[in-house]
Structure 1
Amino acid sequence: TALEQFSMQGWLKYAPGFRKPWKKRYLMVNQDAGILSIYESEVDGVGANPKGLIPLKGAMVDMPIPTNDPNPFQFCVCKIGESEEARKKPKISSASYSKGGFSQSVAKISKLVKSNSSIRKPVVHHFATDTEELMIEWINAIAHTCALHLEDESNGAMEENVSPQPEYKNEEPENDPITEQESEEDLNMREALKAQRLQEKKEKAASTLIQSLWRMILQKRKYQHILTQKRSIQMIFAYYQMYKSRQNFKPMLKQHKYRVNVLREMLSTEQSYIEGLNSLVNVFLTPLKAQGLINPQQIASIFSNIESIASLHHYLLTELSSRITGFIQPYQTIGDIFIFLLPQFKLYVEYINNYDSAVKLLVKLRESNSKFNKFVTKANELPELNMKQIESFLIMPVQRLPRIEMLLKDLLKHTDDNHPDHDTLERAFEGISELTAFVNEKKREAENFNKMAAVQRKMGKKGSGHNIVQPHRKWLKEGSLDVWNVDKKKRIERSVILFSDMLLCSTEKSVVAIKKGLHHTVRYDTLETYQLDRNSSASPAQDDPCSFIVKTRHASCKLFAESEIEMQDWCKTINETIEQLGKPRSMTSSGSPASRWGSHLV
């Protein structure tokens, strides 16, 4: 017949009942028998025992309730009137139908075909395909089989309901040829009309089922479009959340990259520093000790405690190399290393304080000791020094401590407060900063002492009654000014030096001395001292905008600057110095880095 083309077989996903797990089964549609056979493996349908049989007589094809099931192409087979809609209570209203309920065509088919089934618990068989085209083929095949056997059932019921007609005996002879011929023609006509009506009913039922199925497919497509939009919105929201997380993580990532760069710079500079110290010790210090070109006191004055500093940084490099290798973890810590070595950094105090005298002694020895000068010149030309002179290596420890302070400060600045290394880095940075400040203060004191000693030497015999070098005294300012001479009533150029408690005015004189060569020495020819106290003052003069007057308890003097700005600067510095005279020394130095470090660094 024309319906035989819809018989088919193949693999489908099958789930019996409601929300049962999906299983892959091989299905065969038998149109003649009206049965849907289920097999666990692929068979030819002859002599095989099916896993299950689904009768299609009085059955229908329906679309399942839309769910979040991962299989989008689904359909189900159930008894007419026992679809999934009948299992849900309360029934789906028109409002819920508009939100994605069952197709109206299912209800129309249920009204069109009435089932006499007495099963109380409807069984719904769910099927799923991989593509929409395959789903439509299976739906057409099963629906036509259901429609075919539905018409057969209804036709049989109609024939059973026809009551038998009583037989009338004709008085005419039984073998009348005309009567028998008319009855046979009428019977043939009735059979033809009956077959025509049956064929029309079958075609109408099949057309109705196909239209209903297509309406259900279109409804499912519409719902799938809405579901796809919902999933797209969920995906967009998930990507937005991911974008927000990345945006929040970017500052942390940027901060970590900066910390990694600072740590690697700290390690690389430490390696270069160790190489420089090793060159200083191996190329200069060790050979000088062995050759005896200069005495041990001179060696100690030039190189100081450079070997101890080298040992300290060898240990520091070992610890840093063990932690700054390859991939640096976000929570890597190094602050504890510097806290542990912080007391050992006091070695720099001795070296930095001795640096200026070491450089001066080096210059003096190269001028006076030819063998020493030849040794240094030859050593400076060695290729392993990379064209560096001995002075470049001697200044490296002086520059290293501020360099460490700067790196720790930069690292602390880009370390979050919740980072495990933050507190230790903060303590290490504070300790190194205080040590650097203490070293600088001690260096300033040494420079101040050297300047006062130079002034004392320039005074010569005339300064025998003036002891310039005092523990409490500091050199503050020096310059060339004109001083008003009351006796001569004219301005005389003087060299003016301001100390923390005294103002010195003198005249410089160049003295030529002949001793191991011709050289010049500067001496002070005239000396005038003004002792400053709390009653002293410095104020601009009324007659000249560039002049000012310094008054003390016992004397006063009038000085002339080259410009009004220079005059104001001198007045400001002198008055600030006078204000500091009344304060105890403990007030000016308490709380400073030197006061905290001096007790254990001296």
Structure 2
Amino acid sequence: PDKLLHTEEAYIKRLHLLDQVFCTKLTESGIPQDVITGIFSNISSIYCFHDKFLLPELKTRITGEWDSNPRIGDILQKLAPFMKMYGEYVKNFDRAMDLVNTWNQRSSQFKSVVQNIQKQDVCGNLTLQHHMLEPVQRIPRYEMLLKDYLKKLPDEALDRKDAEKALELISTAANHSNAAIRKMEKMHKLLEVYERLGGEEDIVNPANELIKEGLIKKMSAKNGTAQDRYLYLFNNMVLYCVPKLRLMGQKFSVRERIDIAGMEVQENVKHNLPFTFAIIGKQRSLELQAR
């Protein structure tokens, strides 16, 4: 139960950040209301439900009444009708991501408000998109916490029946969330890459899928020396990057974006060296050595 309470408190801070900080500041800065709704969907209702209802109930029960009434199943069952709110949020998520990307590029006002908030400690070096994932990931988290709780619960415990019922209700909603999460985990990966590249490349797009990434050596055609480089292989392109020596923020700079369409790969281009290959693309050709 303590874990449930701690994660709930942390989650509410994220909801507060989304609703009371990002959403409020963007509204105040004059971003059109339909865009705000398109991005934040029903986050206000979700925040209100957790802040005014679920957290206070859990807190009272876990910190105040646990000795006389050790159960949480009855409270979590009440969560079930509110799962519809989450369904709505999850369904809107792709569109919300697209809107954030579009407005980041289109509006300097939007971009600067978002960047200013992202610089604050409360954001923990994470982007708006990163925080927007939280509500989607929360329902499967309840499912996990409940399963864990039930495992440790004695068979004859008073709470077993309620907790099992709550799990059943939450699992149904978690399935919807999980399908969306799988889609979003791909987006999440893309976001991480986007951040590592310092926002240089517009890669956050559901059509892009990260397949593999890793360090590589670039063979110099002139003198045969090798330099450290980094490759990102997507379903539709290769990003050829140079490492940046920074502790925070941008890790790589993109030197070349090579389309997969029309690209050729030749193996063992340098017979005297192991694991060498060449990428021959429309934009550029490279001789590389895997580590």
Q: What is the TM-score of this pair, normalised by structure 1?
A: 0.29
Question: 1:352 is matched with which residue?
Answer: 90
Closer, same or farther: CA 370–442 of 1 in aligned 2, 3 Å: closer
State percent identity of aligned pairs. 37
- Among 117, 121, 134, the residue aligned to 1:383: 121
Aligned residue identity for 2:35: Q
CA distance in 1, matches of 2:158, 2:58: 17
1:342·1:428 contact (CA, 8 Å) conserved in 2? yes
Question: 1:402 is matched with which residue?
Answer: 140
1:331·1:420 contact (CA, 8 Å) conserved in 2? no
Q: Is 2:37 the partner of 1:296?
A: no
- Among 401, 404, 412, the residue aligned to 2:150: 412
- Among 371, 380, 383, the residue aligned to 2:109: 371
Matched residue of 1:417: which SS?
Answer: coil
TM-superposed CA distance for 1:435, in Å, is 1.3
TM-superposed CA distance for 1:389, in Å, is 2.3
CA distance in 1, matches of 2:76, 2:64: 21
CA distance in 2, matches of 1:285, 1:358: 13
- Which residues of structure 2 form unaligned runs of 5+? 185-235, 237-256, 262-291
Question: 2:20 is matched with which residue?
Answer: 282
TM-superposed CA distance for 1:382, in Å, is 2.1
Matched residue of 2:71: which SS?
Answer: coil
TM-superposed CA distance for 1:440, in Å, is 3.8
- Among 431, 435, 438, the residue aligned to 2:176: 438
Aligned residue identity for 1:359: M
TM-superposed CA distance for 1:308, in Å, is 0.7
TM-superposed CA distance for 1:399, in Å, is 1.0
- Among 46, 67, 72, the residue aligned to 1:334: 72
1:274·1:313 contact (CA, 8 Å) conserved in 2? yes
Matched residue of 2:63: which SS?
Answer: coil
Q: What is the CA deviation profile of residues 286-340 of structure 1, one whole-angstrom value per residue up to 9, with x for unaligned ones?
A: 1222221x21111111111101111111111000000111684285011111112
CA distance in 2, matches of 1:443, 1:409: 19
Question: 2:225 is matched with which residue?
Answer: none
TM-superposed CA distance for 1:365, in Å, is 1.0
Matched residue of 2:79: which SS?
Answer: helix
Question: 1:343 is matched with which residue?
Answer: 81
- Among 39, 48, 73, the residue aligned to 1:311: 48
1:331·1:419 contact (CA, 8 Å) conserved in 2? no
Closer, same or farther: CA 437–364 of 1 in aligned 2, 3 Å: same
Closer, same or farther: CA 440–366 of 1 in aligned 2, 3 Å: same
Question: 2:240 is matched with which residue?
Answer: none
Closer, same or farther: CA 321–406 of 1 in aligned 2, 3 Å: same
CA distance in 2, matches of 1:273, 1:379: 18
1:523-562 equivalences under 5 Å are none
What's the RMSD between the two structures over aligned residues?
A: 2.8
Q: Name the count of aligned residue pairs.
A: 190
- Which residues of structure 1 form unaligned runs of 5+? 1-262, 447-507, 509-518, 524-602
Closer, same or farther: CA 443–411 of 1 in aligned 2, 3 Å: closer
TM-superposed CA distance for 1:274, in Å, is 0.5
Closer, same or farther: CA 442–325 of 1 in aligned 2, 3 Å: closer
Q: What is the TM-score of this pair, normalised by structure 2?
A: 0.59
1:32-51 equivalences under 5 Å are none
Moved over 3 A (4+): 438-446, 519-523
Q: What is the CA deviation profile of residues 258-285 of structure 1, one whole-angstrom value per residue up to 9, with x for unaligned ones?
A: xxxxx10100000000011111122210
Question: 1:422 is matched with which residue?
Answer: 160
TM-superposed CA distance for 1:445, in Å, is 10
- Among 5, 11, 14, the residue aligned to 1:273: 11
- Among 121, 131, 134, the residue aligned to 1:393: 131
CA distance in 2, matches of 1:369, 1:414: 52
CA distance in 1, matches of 2:82, 2:27: 26
